[in-house]
Amino acid sequence: MADLPAALRAAVPGLTVLDDPDVMDAYRRDQAPGLPAGRPAAVVMPEDTAQVAAAVATAAAHGAPIVVRGAGSGLAGAANAVDGCLILSTQRMNRILAVDPAERLATVQPGVINADLRQAVAAQGLFYPPDPGSYEMCTVGGNAATNAGGMCCVKYGVTGDYVRGLEAVLADGSVLRTGRRTVKGVAGYDLTHLLVGSEGTLAVITELTLALRPAPMQPRTIIGQFATTAAAGAAVTEVLASAADPSILEIIDATTLRAIEAWQPLGVEADTAAMVIAQSDSARQDEDLRLIEAAFHEATEVIVADDAAESEMLMQARRLAYPALERLGATLLDDVAVPLPELVALIEGVEAIAAGHGMTVGIFGHAGDGNMHPTVVYPHGDAEAEKLAFTVFDEIVALALRLGGTVTGEHGVGLLKRSWLDRELDETARRTQRAVKAALDPAGLLNPGKAIA
């Protein structure tokens, strides 16, 4: 692939092409530790769909694999390079092309930062709900590629629920437009949601049409501290069974709470087994908080925020969860999801796995939809400990499957869980997925070795 950079420069005037090995090194991998990453032949930074199409066609003519990279904030190795590939960075495709308050739609390029979009539409009294934990740095294109979620999922759903249409470049360089601007539309196959969550293995997303909502009320927060995980799980169940409409419903285990307290003390009681955090942003906020507080009847302590400032203060426990665990060492963080009745079994099972291996594992996440983030902590630079961390994580994923869950709720499969996808899907499902891949990418050039079973 030595001639690929020259071919790209000749084929796509004005395209930024990087081929210095030291510069390209920064584009080789995402945030997942311990996963292989190859050496790219070139990195390109297109600014529009035409440049993407020409770059993809040129790479295809040279038989070069194509790996799309957003902000590199992924946690499953989906953006990791393969040897001789073209890394296609969307960081310069960062324009909000239009916001239509009447239709409640935004049209954006894939490199737009999630937080920037949320801020831009908020200025017009609108709300873009998907809020991954990395929303201040991750891109909406990357969010769509993994069908990312976030803390608001319990009420508002995931990224795919807001993708009305896409523009994408196929493996041969042709441009595909999917979906529509209308609220309803069932003409033909739903190619939009085929591409959402496909992790760059079927097409390169170059433009998104996103649905927006009216801005909600300023949220208020309530937290409950529980002496047992079972009591916390029962509270979550009662909240969801009530008439309350929480916009956030999160849970944090004891290991994570201890890490937070050791770093930035919040006054969490030492014997707390789990904390549940809820918010309401609805017009019936007072009633929501009353119902949630009633559901927290087994809590050892309940705190209800009186205003926005106190609400933000109470949310600090959740925002500090991962940074607090990071302070303890290297981390292997990803996600699994289980049916809601199995949430307590998952948390207690993770605690048992950690104890069995003498490892530190914190678990926190989205109690409202059963999507949790087990985080294995191990010493920096310790190869044997890293190997054990992957063993522990495999046992956690196996536990989630035994509980009727899935290997990933929002982070994607990437490299980290590709072998587990074979175990979750039956042979008919795997065969169908391979057929779809072959139809759209017959040469297997788009993000090879990732995601597809």
pLDDT tens-place string over residues 119-169: 999 999 999 999 998 889 999 999 999 999 999 999 999 999 999 999 999
Domain boundary among 214, 235, 269: 214
Smallest CA-to-CA distance from 376 within 268, 387, 31 is with 387
Q: Give the CATH number for residue 11.
A: 3.30.43.10
Q: What is the mean pLDDT of residues 276-288?
A: 96
Least confident residue range of 97-106, 143-152, 308-317? 308-317
* 394 Cβ neighbours under 8 A, 6+ residues apart: 420
Record the tokens describing residue 199, joined without a space. Answer: 């992790």
Residue 431 has pLDDT above 70, yes or no: yes
Q: Specify whether 118 is located in the same domain as 179.
A: yes
Q: Specify whether 84 is located in the same domain as 102.
A: no
Q: Specify whether 103 is located in the same domain as 205.
A: yes
Domain with 154 in it: 96-214
Residue 6: its H or E element: helix 4-11
**pLDDT value at residue 185:** 87
Q: Give the CATH number for residue 293.
A: 3.30.70.2190
Q: Specify whether 109 is located in the same domain as 81.
A: no
**pLDDT value at residue 183:** 84
Position 194 in a domain: yes
Number of domain units in the chain: 3
Q: What is the mean pLDDT of residues 92-102?
A: 97
Alpha helices in 135-251 (DSSP H): 140-146, 153-156, 191-195, 229-241
Q: Specify whether 190 is located in the same domain as 263.
A: no
Q: Give the CATH number for residue 192.
A: 3.30.465.10
Q: Specify whether 101 is located in the same domain as 194.
A: yes
Q: Output 1 or 415, whichever has higher pLDDT.
A: 415
Q: Specify whether 185 is located in the same domain as 259.
A: no
Average pLDDT, the chain: 96
pTM value?
A: 0.94
Per-residue pLDDT tens over the stretch 62-72: 999 999 999 99
**pLDDT value at residue 351:** 96
Q: Specify whether 104 is located in the same domain as 201.
A: yes
Residue 308 has pLDDT above 90, yes or no: no
Give me the helix-helix angle, 343-357 and 229-241, nearest 10°. 160
Position 57 in a domain: yes
Q: What is the mean pLDDT of residues 22-28?
A: 97
Q: Specify whether 77 is located in the same domain as 102.
A: no
Residue 258 backbone class (left: φ over 0; alpha: ψ -120 to 50; beta: rest): alpha
Position 78 in a domain: yes
Position 250 in a domain: yes
Strand partners, 87: 43, 67
Position 144 in a domain: yes
Position 260 in a domain: yes
Q: How many residues does the chain have?
A: 453
Q: What is the mean pLDDT of residues 191-216?
A: 97
**pLDDT value at residue 182:** 85
Position 60 in a domain: yes
Record the tokens describing residue 4, joined without a space. Answer: 């690929």
Instruction: Dihedral sign for Cα 9, 4, 60, 412, please.
Output: negative
Per-residue pLDDT tens over the stretch 363-382: 999 999 999 999 999 999 99
pLDDT over 70 for what percent of the chain? 99
Domain boundary among 176, 195, 214: 214
Position 378 in a domain: no
**pLDDT value at residue 133:** 86
Q: Specify whether 198 is located in the same domain as 297.
A: no
**pLDDT value at residue 453:** 66
Q: Specify whether 105 is located in the same domain as 182.
A: yes
**pLDDT value at residue 1:** 60
**pLDDT value at residue 2:** 65
Domain boundary among 89, 114, 137: 89
Per-residue pLDDT tens over the stretch 313-340: 899 999 999 999 999 999 999 899 999 9
Q: Specify whether 68 is located in the same domain as 100.
A: no
Per-residue pLDDT tens over the stretch 240-275: 999 999 999 999 999 999 999 999 999 999 999 999
